């Protein structure tokens, strides 16, 4: 199996996996979404809320506010499977004390740990009118996406098989089929008498071009064992860390399964 990284930034990564199987790629995708630990606000104690927003909605907004959850931030924090994880006292404390008139933003959340804070400063949480007060204590904990969406580290985690476009040389060149491509991947070049493929990896395999060609000049398929994988995150964790952790988790699961099988499935 080969992996080629096509692009990578703080919150987005695209890579090609060659010579792999669908179940393996899908297992990585699922592990990345639901088995990679991430930090999010779990307990909220609303001492005072004069705003028009219901307490439940405010607590939900706080829970979904992305918090820095990279490897450095996660180090030493207890996981849901550890004893005492549920304790209110066990986690990273946040304070939110504001008075209107103002819009309260994510940057107003004061963390007890300088490493663990909102990823973005400008997420609006609630609007306070003149004289309205807000006094909230919250505790963030490490969790998994399988328990709640706030702990899913990926906002996009998808793959597609590597597209393949072929032309039927036995029929007349159908230049018009290129116009049907909604992504502008195909370009008619009458001078060189061919249709150029500008970026095959951008092809969604929608087959609009195939349907537009009456004589069957163009055909769109895919490579069975090659994949284009895209991971995007909310900025809480770099996509590379999500991928590496997902691979670790999958490896641990495979080891457990092998051990279980070796022991005759007795436990
Ligand atoms: S399958 Fe769709 S995206 Fe791909 S080349 Fe044809 S029209 Fe364009």
Question: Model confidence over 45-59: pLDDT tens digits?
Answer: 999 999 999 999 999
pLDDT attached to residue 154: 97
Pocket lining: 212 vs ligand 1, CB cutoff 6 Å = no
Strand partners, 196: 187
pLDDT in tens, 193-249: 899 999 999 999 999 999 999 999 999 999 999 999 999 999 999 999 999 999 999
- Residue 163 CA, closest ligand 1 atom number: 4
- Residue 210 CA, closest ligand 1 atom number: 6
Residues 50-72: what's their mean pLDDT? 97
Pocket lining: 209 vs ligand 1, CB cutoff 6 Å = yes
Tokens of 148: 């709640």
Pocket lining: 218 vs ligand 1, CB cutoff 6 Å = no
Chain-wide mean pLDDT for the chain?
A: 95
Pocket lining: 205 vs ligand 1, CB cutoff 6 Å = yes
> What pTM, to 2 d.p., does this model score?
0.89
- When pLDDT is cut at 50, 70 and 90, the band that residue 266 belongs to is low
Spatial contact of 227 and 160, defined as CB atoms under 8 Å apart: yes
For residue 265, pLDDT over 80 is answered with no
- When pLDDT is cut at 50, 70 and 90, the band that residue 267 belongs to is low
Which domains does the chain carry? 2-34+155-230 (3.30.1360.10), 38-150 (2.170.120.12)
Tokens of 64: 């979904």
In this structure, the residue with its CA closest to atom 8 of ligand 1 is 181
Residues 162-169: what's their mean pLDDT? 96
């Amino acid at each position: 199996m080969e992996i080629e990284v096509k692009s990578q930034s703080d919150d987005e990564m695209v890579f090609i996996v060659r010579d792999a199987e669908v179940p393996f790629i899908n297992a990585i995708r699922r592990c990345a979404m639901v088995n990679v630990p991430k930090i999010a606000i779990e307990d909220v104690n609303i001492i005072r809320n004069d705003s028009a927003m219901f307490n439940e909605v405010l607590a939900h907004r706080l829970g979904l506010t992305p918090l820095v959850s990279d490897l450095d931030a996660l180090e030493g924090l207890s996981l849901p499977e550890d004893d005492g994880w549920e304790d209110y006292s066990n986690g990273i404390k946040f304070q939110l004390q504001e008075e209107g008139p103002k819009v309260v933003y994510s940057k107003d959340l004061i963390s007890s740990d300088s490493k663990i804070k909102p990823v973005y400063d400008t997420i609006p949480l609630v609007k306070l009118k003149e004289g309205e007060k807000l006094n909230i204590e919250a505790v963030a904990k490490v969790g998994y996406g399988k328990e709640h969406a706030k702990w899913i580290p990926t906002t996009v985690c998808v793959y597609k098989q590597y597209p393949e476009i072929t032309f039927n040389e036995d029929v007349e060149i159908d230049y018009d089929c290129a116009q049907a491509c909604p992504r502008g991947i195909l370009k008619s070049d009458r001078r060189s008498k061919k249709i150029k493929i500008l970026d095959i990896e951008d092809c969604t395999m929608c087959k609009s071009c195939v349907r537009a060609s009456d004589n069957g000049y163009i055909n769109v398929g895919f490579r069975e064992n090659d994949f284009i994988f895209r991971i995007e995150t909310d900025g809480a964790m770099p996509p590379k860390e999500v991928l590496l952790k997902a691979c670790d988790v999958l490896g641990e699961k495979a080891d457990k399964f092998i051990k279980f099988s070796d022991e005759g499935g007795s436990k």
